Amino acid sequence: MLRWDWGSSPIGESVNGQIAFRIGVSAQLVLFALVLSTTIGIALAVYTASRQYRFADRFRPVKLTKSSPLQPTPPIPTDETTTPLPIRAAKHAHGGRRQTGRSGQVEPPGSVETDGPPFPDSWTAPQRSADTAYGRHMHENPPPATPAEVYIHGHHASVLRSHRWRTAENSAGYLLPLLKAGQYLLDLGCGPGAISIDLARRVAPGQVVGVDREQAPLQEARAVAADQRVENVRFELGDAYGLGYPDASFDIVHAHQVLQHLSDPVAALVEMRRVCKPGGCVAARDADYQAMSWYPADPRLVRWLELYRRVARSHHGEPDAGRRLLSWVREAGFCDITSSASAWCFATAEDRAWWGGLWAERVTQSALAEQALARGLATRAELAELAEAWRHWARHDEGWFAVLHGEILCAVT
Ligand SMILES: C[S@@+](CC[C@H](N)C(=O)[O-])C[C@H]1O[C@@H](n2cnc3c(N)ncnc32)[C@H](O)[C@@H]1O
């Protein structure tokens, strides 16, 4: 018979007719470590498998390619057809309220914006959902509290000038082949609404809802839409992490240069997916600061880029978002993804004066400047020097600047 004798008998010695095995102290430690690491390994494997199961269960794969356009639009869901639970990644599924806006105001999810113009009687795009199952759920289980996020550019005149220049064509060209008359489209983080209004013209008689966390650009957006007599667009206050619309409300959910400013872009993508109809599409385009190129070389512009990226990261934003979109949408659970890139280019005297002048103002007068100063990342004298670099670039006859963007189209099942 074999018997273990912890440390007292020599190996293989026969004691009272039994063969005893001696194990020294270091061998005991090795054995203990082996048992412990095996136990931890098994526990980790079980935990990972259970998480993957829950995640995979939420998102079923779907095929969307350029040759397989969006499905016909199913009817807008009613309260009865609305899935009551919001889809959020497990790590976000705790209680509390999210702080919104630069002032850190708390905005309850699903709250209704009241100071805009009344919508026409014919308006049928998805309404805020305080009275829906989803709305009730959101009021009982508000989104998590996280540190207040800041839109680092703010809405200074120099920033809005850049947003107003944007069109569906120069900023959402990758999405245009999917647009059809009659679609409902959500434009998340719409700012002053130039892209939303342009998209509204393209999906009419469908309707567009522009949502932003800040009030000021929304007022401008409403005024511009009224001025241009675009009636199939409305603008509402809202938060990317807790959109107050029922599940499966929109054919297209779009965000231009928004995810790059969020501390949790994956959670926002999961929420975008929730409000998108099966057969619809989640679309996003974001700049990639590290990939910006220009001529002629100027070390002060290198310093400008470095400063911008440091300020963005200090707010938990991702200045190089363009290259990360694909990884974010995969993490959010999308399976059928079309990834592309496109660029803005400023190379004429007029474009240079506009782009260079705009940045010269931004680096000295916008929220970006305030934050760089507040964080001790630059002095006023340095910012003035960066502004001068921009004006110098704008005056250069051969000046050229390109802003690369990543783009993503994700099919929703
Ligand atoms: C760079 S601007 C883009 C505006 C517009 N999409 C465009 O391209 O002209 C980013 C916008 O996202 C908004 N934003 C930032 N965080 C947000 C959030 N959590 N929910 C909704 N909007 C947000 C900002 O207020 C800002 O207007």
Q: What is the pLDDT of residues 383-409, one digit of tens each?
A: 999 999 999 999 999 999 999 999 999
What's the pLDDT at 47?
58
Distance between CA atoms of residues 14 and 325, nearest Å: 68
- Residue 375 is part of a domain; what is its CATH number? 3.40.50.150
Residue whose CA lies nearest to ligand 1 atom number 27: 191
Measure 308 CA to ligand 1 centroid, in angstroms.
17
236 or 54, which is more confident? 236
What's the pLDDT at 137?
46
Distance between CA atoms of residues 235 and 313, nearest Å: 29
Beta strand 2-5 with 18-22 is parallel
C-beta of 257 in contact with ligand 1 (< 6 A): yes
Same domain, 47 and 97: no
Rounded to an integer, the average pLDDT of 356-367 is: 93
Measure 190 CA to ligand 1 centroid, in angstroms.
6
Residues facing residue 250 across a β-bridge: 276
Rounded to an integer, the average pLDDT of 363-380 is: 91
When mean pLDDT is compared across 11-20, 24-33, 296-305, 346-355, the lowest value belongs to 11-20
Same domain, 245 and 344: yes
What's the pLDDT at 46?
59
Same domain, 53 and 105: no
Residue whose CA lies nearest to ligand 1 atom number 9: 163
Tell me whether residue 75 is in a domain: no
Distance between CA atoms of residues 272 and 267, nearest Å: 9
What's the pLDDT at 161?
78
Tell me whether residue 360 is in a domain: yes
**Nearest-5° angle of CA 365, CA 154, CA 169?**
110
CA distances from 203 to 281, 284, 305 (A): 14, 18, 37
| Nearest one of 125, 252, 231, 245 to 185, comparing CA atoms | 252
Q: How confident is the model at residue 148 (pLDDT cuts 50, 70, 90)?
A: low
Distance between CA atoms of residues 251 and 334, nearest Å: 16
Tokens of 407: 């783009």
Tell me whether residue 207 is in a domain: yes
Same domain, 115 and 17: no
Residue 311 Ramachandran class (φ > 0 left, ψ -120 to 50 alpha, else beta) = alpha
Same domain, 125 and 31: no
Tell me whether residue 80 is in a domain: no
Tell whether the model's pLDDT for residue 325 goes beyond 90: yes
Domain extent for 390: 90-411
Model-level pTM greater than 0.95? Answer: no
Distance between CA atoms of residues 334 and 412, nearest Å: 8
Indicate the DSSP class of residue 379. Answer: -
Measure 191 CA to ligand 1 centroid, in angstroms.
5
Report the chain's mean pLDDT, rounded to a whole number. 77
Tell me whether residue 376 is in a domain: yes
Share of the chain above pLDDT 70, in %: 66
Measure 304 CA to ligand 1 centroid, in angstroms.
22
Share of the chain above pLDDT 90, in %: 58
Tell whether the model's pLDDT for residue 96 goes beyond 60: no
Same domain, 107 and 149: yes
Rounded to an integer, the average pLDDT of 156-170 is: 85
When mean pLDDT is compared across 10-24, 91-105, 155-169, 192-206, the lowest value belongs to 91-105
CA distances from 127 to 72, 123, 189, 311 (A): 21, 9, 18, 36
C-beta of 382 in contact with ligand 1 (< 6 A): no
C-beta of 367 in contact with ligand 1 (< 6 A): no
Measure 192 CA to ligand 1 centroid, in angstroms.
9
C-beta of 366 in contact with ligand 1 (< 6 A): no
Q: What is the pLDDT of residues 173-215, one digit of tens each?
A: 999 999 999 999 999 999 999 999 999 999 999 999 999 999 9
What's the pLDDT at 23?
56
Rounded to an integer, the average pLDDT of 61-85 is: 31
| Nearest one of 408, 89, 119 to 252, comparing CA atoms | 408
What's the pLDDT at 269?
98
Q: What is the pLDDT of residues 107-145, one digit of tens each?
A: 333 333 333 333 444 566 666 554 444 444 444 454 444
Tell me whether residue 341 is in a domain: yes
C-beta of 191 in contact with ligand 1 (< 6 A): yes
Tell me whether residue 338 is in a domain: yes
Same domain, 44 and 109: no
Measure 144 CA to ligand 1 centroid, in angstroms.
20
What's the pLDDT at 351?
97
Q: Could you give the number of structural domains in the chain?
A: 2
Residues facing residue 235 across a β-bridge: 210
7 or 263, which is more confident? 263
Q: Which of 99, 150, 151 to mutate to test the pocket of ligand 1 (most atoms within 8 A of CB)?
A: 151
Q: What is the pLDDT of residues 274-324, one digit of tens each?
A: 999 999 999 999 999 999 999 999 999 999 999 999 999 998 999 999 999
C-beta of 151 in contact with ligand 1 (< 6 A): yes
| Nearest one of 257, 272, 271, 393 to 312, comparing CA atoms | 257
Tell me whether residue 70 is in a domain: no
